[in-house]
Amino acid sequence: MTRTPDEIVKKELRKESKFICSLPDCYSPFLEYHHFDPPWHIENHHNPSGMISLCPQHHREADAGVWTNEQLRKMKNDNINNEDLSIVEGKLNYLRNKFLLKAGGNYYYNNTLYDVVLKGRPLIWFNINDEGLKMLNVELFNSQGDVYFKIVDNSWDVNNNVKDVICPPSGKKLRVNFDNGDYFKLEFKEIDTLEKLNYEISNLYINEMRQEIPFTILKCSLKLKEFNLNFQEHKSFASGIMLSNCFMLDCRVGVAL
C-alpha cells in the first residue's frame, strides 16, 4: 500500500472540507491528505474517517504534531457540519510568453483577441501583462449569461453548483466538476525538447512549432451541456459539429461557435 489514497477517498475528503484546507481561516484549494487516526507510521490505512484534507504547509505541520488528534477530529467534524460553501479560489502561477492552447483536440497559437468564442462571448483567451507574459482567462456561463466559473488573468474562483474541485499542489492541473454534469479541466506541460514536441503535437504541425521550442502547452477540456459543447481530449463537439486536429494560428479569433 502506498501513502497516496485512491480517488474515491480523496473525493470524499475534499467534499468534507468544502474543497479547501480544513484549517480555520485557511482557504487554500491545493490539497493533500493527512492520516491522523491512527497516524500512517502506526498503521498504513486509507480510512477517510481517520484522515483530513490539508494544504501542503498545514500537512507538514500536522505531520510534525502541531495539532492533537482531538483537535484534528474537531476540525474535521466542524467542516462536516458546516453546510455553507465558501467561494473556492486559487491562482495559476504559470506565466509564459509562449503558450500553445490545445483545447478539444485543436490547437490555438498567437491569436490576438480570443482563442474560443461561444455565442458571441469569449470563452478562452489570454491577456498579456506588463512584462509581456500571457495570463489565462476563461468564462463558463449559462444560457442566461450568468458566469459560474471564471479565470481572470490566472486567478480563478467558483462558487455555484460545485460537485468537486481537484487542485493538486503542483499547480499544473485543475479540474472543476459541476452538479449538472458540466466540467472544466486544464493541465500545463513544458515542451523543451523535440522528443516532447513529437509526442504532444500532431505530425501535421511539427514544423510550425519546432522553431518555437521551448514553449508551454495548456491542455483544456470542458463540457457545457446547455450549449451542446464538449471539448474532449482529441475532439471538439459543438451542436452536432465535430472539429479535430485543426490549427488556429495568428488569427484575431481562433474559433467562434
**pLDDT (0 to 100) of residue 186:** 98
Whether 124 has a pLDDT exceeding 80, the answer reads yes
Question: Which structural domain, as residue segments, surrounds residue 67?
Answer: 7-86
Average confidence (pLDDT) over 95-122? 97
Residues 246 and 119 in one domain: yes
Q: Which amino acid is at 10?
A: K
- Cβ atoms 123, 116 nearer than 8 A: yes
E-strand stretches of the chain? 32-35, 51-54, 88-91, 99-103, 106-109, 114-118, 121-128, 134-141, 147-152, 155-158, 162-166, 173-178, 183-191, 215-224, 229-231, 236-238, 241-243, 247-249, 253-256
Same domain, 17 and 96: no
198-222 tens-digit pLDDT: 999 988 889 889 999 999 999 999 9
pTM: 0.94
Of 86, 119, 148, which closes a domain?
86
Question: Which percentage of the chain shows pLDDT scores above 70?
Answer: 100
Banded model confidence at residue 83, pLDDT cuts 50, 70, 90: confident
Across 106-118, average pLDDT: 97
What is the pLDDT, as a whole number, of residue 10?
98
Instruction: Out of 48, 68, 86, pick the residue that ends a domain.
Output: 86
Is a pLDDT exceeding 90 seen at residue 241? yes
Instruction: Classify the phi-psi angles of 211: left when phi > 0, otherwise alpha if psi is within -120 to 50, otherwise beta.
Output: alpha
Indicate the residue type of 15.
K
Say whether both 79 and 114 belong to one domain. Answer: no
Domain end position, chosen among 86, 102, 127: 86
112 and 220, same domain (yes or no)? yes
Q: How many structural domains are present in the chain?
A: 2
First-to-last alpha carbon distance for the chain, in angstroms, is 47
- CA torsion sign for 248, 232, 153, 101 is negative
The whole-number average pLDDT for the span 138-162 is 94
Mean pLDDT, rounded, of the chain: 95
Whether 2 is in a domain gets the answer: no
